[in-house]
Amino acid sequence: MLSVRTFANLIVMISLAVKTVRRVIGAVAGVLLTLGASATAEAATLDDVRSRGHLLCGVADGPLGFSHVDEQGRWSGLEVDFCAAVAAAIFGDKSAVKFRSLPAAERFAALRSGDVDLLARSATWTLSRDMDLGIKFVDTLFYDGQAMMVRRSQGITSVLELSGASICLLANGPAQQNVREFFGHRGMRFTLVASDSWDQAVQGYANKRCMALSADMSTLALTRTTLPDPDEHQFLPEVLSKEPRGPAVRQDDPQWFGIIRWVLFALLTAEEYGITSSNVESAKASNFVEVRRLLGTEGDLGASLGLSRTWAYDAIQQVGNYGEIFERNLGKNSALKLERQINNLWSQGGLMQAPPFR
């Protein structure tokens, strides 16, 4: 018969043995999870893209400035150039990309099914889309948002000066609610002139049935180009809603997610350091170590992404930095003449920034 002390020692030994078994099981499970993650990463989109010889990029045929194809079949726009930058980073050739025009209702399904490798088509980054659709937004390529456009001759410089104003906008969608919330929180009076179509809303503004026209900045910028005197119309600085738009990928490939995200960060970092498509070659000898890392002359950050040492250099040299891409498609060098505002670098009062390259 066991003594009390012997029985107690036996219980302690059994308890220790159980804990040891649990630790072993936990370790094995961790290894299996890691192997599973590695297998997923190795079944990578990058391998498929390289085997195919080109990137498949989902875009929309419009609006101008974001993604547009002309009569000769040539694509242009902010989203198109971003896809070209990804192709340059992978292949060293910005032309190694094919574009697929996707209707809004089919864009996410096309990405999930593998019909496209990357969805660059304008879509607002929201919680439900990021978590429920089997896709992941990598970051923001363009900060859109509802704005107000007025005539310069009115002498208005702020939305806060529009108390009592009439506002033309689209009846369907969130525009009315955004105006009600913005003005209501500030105790400002307003009159909505809502139209069933955007063309009707624009016509009402053009005929001076209202003081201001309200929609997303990208929509207003395109509309301004169609008015008789585009320079007479300006955006007020306040933004009534957040509409961050950016590229998305499937959820199941962390390596591909990282590639798309860091191509965008490379374009932003290049602008921050003043590296352009025309001076990127001389920038290889920069005194800034982060610039040398970015361009592949010090270290090899491309290895972590499965890309060459010169992946960022190739993208910048062939497509340009973020500022160059913005200005030729949306900004001062484009028909839209859209000001950077919140799409400026963080160091210039905007929201665009990238983590360090190290």
Convert the pLDDT of each residue in 269-319 to its tens digit.
Answer: 999 999 999 999 999 999 999 999 999 999 999 999 999 999 999 999 999
The tens digit of pLDDT for each residue in 41-64 reads 344 899 999 999 999 999 998 888
Residue 23 has pLDDT above 90, yes or no: no
Which residues does 202 contact at the CB level (< 8 Å), separation at least 6? 168, 213, 223, 226, 227
User: Parallel, antiparallel, or unpaired for β 142-144 and 243-245?
Assistant: antiparallel
Predicted pLDDT of residue 26? 44
Predicted pLDDT of residue 117? 98
Region for residue 24 given its phi and psi (left: phi exceeds 0; alpha: psi -120 to 50; beta: otherwise): alpha
The tens digit of pLDDT for each residue in 174-206 reads 899 999 999 999 999 999 999 999 999 999 999
Which residues does 143 contact at the CB level (< 8 Å), separation at least 6? 242, 243, 244, 245, 342, 343, 350, 351, 352
Predicted pLDDT of residue 242? 87
The tens digit of pLDDT for each residue in 217-240 reads 999 999 999 999 999 999 999 999
Percent of the chain with pLDDT over 70: 88
Predicted pLDDT of residue 3? 53
The tens digit of pLDDT for each residue in 59-116 reads 998 888 999 999 999 999 999 999 999 999 999 999 999 999 999 899 999 999 999 9
pLDDT band at 38 (very low <50, low <70, confident <90, very high): very low
C-alpha distances (whole Å) from 326 to each of 98, 109, 177, 222, 236 are 21, 28, 30, 15, 20
- Strands, E assignment, 178-310: 190-195, 212-216, 233-235, 243-245, 248-250
Short-list 286, 284, 270, CA closest to 319: 270
Mean pLDDT of 12-37: 43
Predicted pLDDT of residue 245? 94
Which of the 8 DSSP states describes residue 40?
Answer: H
Residue 207 has pLDDT above 60, yes or no: yes
Predicted pLDDT of residue 250? 97
Q: Which structural domains are found in the chain, ordered by start?
A: 47-143+244-348 (3.40.190.10), 146-239 (3.40.190.10)
| Alpha carbon distance 229, 151 (integer Å) | 10
C-beta of residue 255 within 8 angstroms of C-beta of residue 49? no
Instruction: Specify the 3-state DSSP secondary structure of 76.
Output: strand
Predicted pLDDT of residue 30? 42
The mean predicted confidence, pLDDT, of the chain is 89
Predicted pLDDT of residue 75? 96
Mean pLDDT of 18-38: 42
Q: Find the helix or strand (DSSP H, E) in which 91 lies.
A: helix 78-91
pLDDT band at 6 (very low <50, low <70, confident <90, very high): low
Burial class (CB in 10 A: 0-12, 13-18, 19+), 115: middle
Mean pLDDT of 11-39: 43
Amino acid at 303: A
The tens digit of pLDDT for each residue in 122-152 reads 788 999 999 999 999 999 999 999 999 999 9
Predicted pLDDT of residue 221? 93
User: Parallel, antiparallel, or unpaired for β 118-119 and 55-59?
Assistant: parallel
Predicted pLDDT of residue 13? 52
Partnered with residue 167 across adjacent β-strands are: 192, 212
Indicate the pTM of the whole model. 0.82
Predicted pLDDT of residue 24? 40
